[in-house]
Amino acid sequence: MRLILKPERDKSVRQRHPWVFTGAVGRRSGPLTPGGVVDVYSSDGGWLARGTVSTHSQIIARLWTWQQDEPIDAELIERRLQRAIAARADLINDPNTTAYRLVFSESDGLPGVIVDRYGDWLAVQLLTQGAAAMSSLIVETLARLLDVRGIYERSDVEIRAREGLQSAEGVLWGAAPPSELEILENGYRFTLDLAGGQKTGWYLDQRRNRRLVSAYARGAEMLGVFTYTGGFEVAAAAQGAASLLAVDSSSVALQTLRANLRRNQLDTPLTVQEGDAFEVLRQLRADGRQFDLIVLDPPKFAHSQRQIDRATRGYKDINLQALHLLRPGGVLATFSCSGLISADLFQKVIFGAALDAERDAQIIETLTQDSDHPVLLTFPESAYLKGLVCRVW
């Protein structure tokens, strides 16, 4: 299969951006098979790159190689997996951490492929037709390269529908994971449900940020909002937080948070509040509550360009409420995992919130996704998580 680009539409491919949009394609030769290998040419017939086809998506091809003599085959997959593993040697050898992302899609040269390691299990997400087509090669190679007990698929995400793929879940290789899988992160114990939990059961991208933010926890009355199972809260409690109020809309997540504190022998006074964060924050303010440390780690608010304005208002709202709830000198750690909201825009939103709250806020840390979620320079879209730690007066 071949895609021949329109004149003047080859720049991004030459610059090794891994996506080809339907609108950039002038001609095709041969019928397109879902997930099949495709060669991409410029309008003057020069070979540019090789990738896999997504017949249902606006992104008609994801590019895997810019080397003409490199086929997309078992060996390429093995080389890319080896490279991804080598890049994570420090994490793999860290006795205090057993959970990390092994493969981060385009950033690791494997478009649509996500592999997370949780102790003796791997969670795999295959998000594109090309990735799905390589499923058995990927699984077989992972099983050979890594000493794990099982590989479990969690391709039950919305983006699969955009690719015309069914949701897929279940054991791909080896044994099924236990429903309570224990992992270590920065020396703390957590359990997760690989098969049933959110995402692949844990938010790996915040590992480093949990450690950095916990440094501000000593003696603090802490409010955690959007806590999930307590990644930030357990680290903060271990670093000497005086008390915790955890807010999430999921009661199961809050129960697990409580269990995770216990699992680490932490008896920090804990209150959990199940509810909508937007409402709970208002209620806390109405009640005149004050905190020394607040962590806001909401889910993705912007899933498409159209949602950016609404998402921005959402971020502003929760941050405004949180700023009101901080004692002078308190610390706000605030995050956005919406790739469509740039770091710049996010900072402007917090600026607007601080103005409205009439509080002085100083940025003391600028945070991003952890190193197992690398940002490929040719693919700035891979930078999605941003956080600011602010001292608030």
Q: Is 390 a catalytic residue?
A: no
Question: Which of 80, 120, 72 lies closest to 104, judged by CA?
Answer: 80
Site string for ligand SAH, 192-231 (x = CB under 6 A): ------x----x--x-------------------xxx--x
Q: Does 64 bind ligand SAH (CB under 6 A)?
A: no
Give the Cβ contact number of residue 311 at 10 Å.
22
Closer residue to ligand SAH, CB minimum distance, 113 or 253: 253
Residue numbers 160-199 binding ligand SAH by CB under 6 A = 198
Residue numbers 297-336 binding ligand SAH by CB under 6 A = 297, 299
Q: Measured from the CB of residue 31, what is the shortest distance to ligand SAH in angstroms?
A: 42
Q: Does 277 bind ligand SAH (CB under 6 A)?
A: yes
Closer residue to ligand SAH, CB minimum distance, 248 or 292: 248
Q: Measured from the CB of residue 358, what is the shortest distance to ligand SAH in angstroms?
A: 26
Closer residue to ligand SAH, CB minimum distance, 253 or 392: 253
Q: Measured from the CB of residue 321, what is the shortest distance to ligand SAH in angstroms?
A: 12
CA distance 393 to 388: 15
| Helices marked H in the chain | 11-14, 74-87, 89-93, 129-133, 135-145, 158-162, 207-214, 231-238, 251-263, 277-286, 308-324, 343-357
What tokens does 167 get?
A: 């949701």
Q: Does 73 bind ligand SAH (CB under 6 A)?
A: no
Q: Does 384 bind ligand SAH (CB under 6 A)?
A: no
**DSSP label of 66:** S
Point out which span in 20-28, 77-85, 214-222, 249-257 binds ligand SAH (CB under 6 A).
249-257
Give the Cβ contact number of residue 68 at 10 Å.
11
CB 174 within 8 A of CB 149: yes
Q: Measured from the CB of residue 40, what is the shortest distance to ligand SAH in angstroms?
A: 37
Q: Measured from the CB of residue 298, what is the shortest distance to ligand SAH in angstroms?
A: 6
Q: Does 283 bind ligand SAH (CB under 6 A)?
A: no
Q: Does 118 bind ligand SAH (CB under 6 A)?
A: no
CA distance 345 to 300: 15
Q: Which residue is nearest to ligand SAH (CB)?
A: 231
Query: In a 3-state reduction of DSSP, which class is residue 295?
Result: strand
Q: Measured from the CB of residue 177, what is the shortest distance to ligand SAH in angstroms?
A: 18
CB 59 within 8 A of CB 166: no
Closer residue to ligand SAH, CB minimum distance, 111 or 387: 387
CA distance 378 to 361: 34
CA distance 189 to 183: 6
Q: Name the active-site residue from 295, 337, 341, 388.
A: 337
Point out which span in 97-105, 144-152, 245-253, 358-366 binds ligand SAH (CB under 6 A).
245-253
Q: Does 255 bind ligand SAH (CB under 6 A)?
A: no
Query: In a 3-state reduction of DSSP, which class is residue 255?
Result: helix
Query: In a 3-state reduction of DSSP, which class is residue 145?
Result: helix
Phi-psi region of 106 (alpha: psi -120 to 50; beta: other; left: phi over 0): alpha
Q: What angle do CA 388, 112, 59 make, to 5 degrees?
A: 95
CA distance 363 to 359: 13
Q: Measured from the CB of residue 276, what is the shortest distance to ligand SAH in angstroms?
A: 4
* Residues with catalytic roles: 337
- For binding to ligand SAH (CB under 6 A), which residues are involved? 198, 203, 206, 226-228, 231-232, 248-250, 253, 276-277, 297, 299
